[in-house]
């Protein structure tokens, strides 16, 4: 069965469901990727004061010993030094093989990972990691009995999917009323309500500006196009036009009223990053993802801005911080960028 990348994104943007249901929907959307032993999706935190696994859901075909092994892996990583957590779970790359990650560990840690999986017959695992600058993240795990390869195009599309999963995690963490039913006008963060055609029914805050209304209308039409025939005929184009954020501010969330009418909500959803030295919000957002090692192209997709905009904002941030290079950014703030945590 062919992987439906748009279906994964749709499963992510459901802030009205409980965590167990949400993770279960993501498991189902990733099932075509499984190699016979199912799929596990785990929510975790590698950047806080209490690192570790938060919740995990597995498809029914995952053998119990493998589920237990992943639980033990997170426990081992949480108890060990931060470098173990970053090596195993923090991108880039967002799509990788567990065997390659484990090979980067010191020998003692590498042997412990092998011990954890010794009784499972698992020889490798395809991992899809969506991790925020604060260290919270999702890990999609596809255990395999042999080492396999992923087509570069599939890996590229899954990398874009991880940007949406990061955006979806932030949406779920927002305070305010659920968006399942009732009037969304006045709900914290909802700044525009649009019809599927792009017609604006309501706008407030930044979304009320003429230019923003035009951009949001175009964004909604792009989301509708991506969810239409493009998801089957041209998934590359579908993911190219459905950005994780639009204008660096809004995520588009679908809403269906009780009478069956569909609307799309533009909800404020910027990354939560701490200001290290009087940086503008846009600059610190770029800096946080650059500190994780992401490319300008990926950062532009995450934030919904042009790659050239990422370059200029990063250059400004580096200059304000008194640094000389991107390498120094990574060295100063670390792979998980915990010093930029909101």
Residues above pLDDT 90, as percent of the chain: 70
pLDDT-based confidence at 274, cuts 50/70/90? low
Q: Answer yes or no: is pLDDT of 311 > 70.
A: yes
Predicted local confidence at residue 276, as pLDDT: 59
> What is the distance between the alpha carbons of residues 107 and 80, in angstroms, rounded to a whole number?
14
pLDDT-based confidence at 256, cuts 50/70/90? confident
pLDDT-based confidence at 159, cuts 50/70/90? very high
Higher pLDDT, 150 or 264: 264
Predicted local confidence at residue 246, as pLDDT: 94
pLDDT-based confidence at 341, cuts 50/70/90? very low
Q: Are 312 and 243 in contact (CB under 8 A)?
A: no
Residues above pLDDT 70, as percent of the chain: 92
Ranges of beta strands (E only) in 208-337 are 250-256, 262-268
pLDDT-based confidence at 101, cuts 50/70/90? very high
pLDDT-based confidence at 237, cuts 50/70/90? very high
The mean pLDDT value for 299-309 works out to 95
Predicted local confidence at residue 181, as pLDDT: 45
Residue 93 DSSP class: S
The mean pLDDT value for 139-168 works out to 93
Q: What is the dihedral of CA 106, 54, 304, 101, to 10 degrees?
A: 20
Across 140-149, 209-218, 251-260, the highest mean pLDDT is recorded for 209-218
Predicted local confidence at residue 183, as pLDDT: 56
Predicted local confidence at residue 322, as pLDDT: 87
pLDDT tens, residue by residue, 166-225: 999 999 886 444 444 445 666 778 999 999 999 999 999 999 999 999 999 999 999 999
Q: Are 310 and 245 in contact (CB under 8 A)?
A: no
Q: Directed axis angle between helix 152-173 and helix 296-303, to 10°? A: 40
> What is the distance between the alpha carbons of residues 120 and 226, in angstroms, rounded to a whole number?
39
Q: Answer yes or no: is pLDDT of 272 > 90.
A: no
pLDDT tens, residue by residue, 258-267: 678 899 999 9
Mean pLDDT for all residues in the chain: 89
CA angle (45, 46, 50) in 5-degree steps: 70
Predicted local confidence at residue 3, as pLDDT: 92
Which residue in the block uniquely carries the two structure tokens 């934030």? 303
Q: Which of 255, 256, 224 is nearest to 241 (CA)?
A: 224
Strand 262-268's sheet: what is its strand order?
200-203, 190-194, 262-268, 250-256
pLDDT-based confidence at 337, cuts 50/70/90? very low
């Amino acid at each position: 069965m062919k992987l439906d990348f748009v279906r994964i994104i749709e499963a992510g943007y459901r802030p009205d469901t409980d965590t167990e249901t949400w993770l279960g929907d993501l498991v189902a959307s990733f099932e075509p990727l499984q190699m016979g032993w199912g799929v596990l999706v785990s929510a975790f935190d590698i950047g806080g004061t209490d690192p570790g696994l938060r919740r995990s859901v597995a498809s029914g075909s995952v053998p119990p010993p493998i589920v237990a092994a992943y639980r033990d892996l997170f426990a081992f990583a949480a108890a060990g030094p931060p470098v173990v957590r970053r090596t195993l779970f923090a991108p880039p790359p967002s799509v990788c093989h567990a065997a390659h990650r484990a090979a980067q560990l010191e020998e003692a840690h590498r042997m412990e990972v092998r011990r954890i999986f010794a009784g499972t017959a698992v020889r490798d695992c395809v991992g899809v990691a969506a991790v925020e600058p604060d260290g919270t993240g999702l890990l999609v795990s596809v255990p395999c009995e042999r080492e396999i390869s992923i087509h570069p195009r599939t890996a590229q599309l899954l990398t874009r999917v991880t940007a949406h999963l990061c955006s979806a995690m932030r949406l779920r963490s927002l305070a305010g009323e659920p968006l399942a039913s009732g009037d969304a006008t006045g709900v914290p963060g909802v700044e525009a309500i649009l019809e599927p055609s792009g017609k604006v029914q309501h706008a407030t805050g930044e979304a009320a500006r003429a230019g923003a209304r035009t951009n949001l209308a175009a964004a909604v039409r792009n989301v509708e196009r991506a969810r239409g025939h493009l998801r089957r005929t041209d998934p590359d184009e579908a993911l190219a036009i459905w950005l994780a954020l639009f204008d660096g501010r809004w995520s588009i969330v679908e809403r269906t009223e009780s009478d069956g009418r569909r609307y799309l909500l533009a909800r404020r959803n910027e990354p939560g990053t701490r200001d290290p030295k009087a940086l503008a919000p846009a600059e610190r957002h770029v800096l946080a993802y650059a500190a994780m090692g992401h490319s300008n192209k990926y950062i532009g997709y995450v934030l919904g801005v042009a790659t050239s905009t990422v370059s200029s904002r990063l250059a400004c941030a580096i200059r304000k911080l008194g640094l000389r290079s991107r390498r120094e950014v990574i060295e100063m703030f670390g792979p998980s960028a915990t010093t930029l945590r909101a």
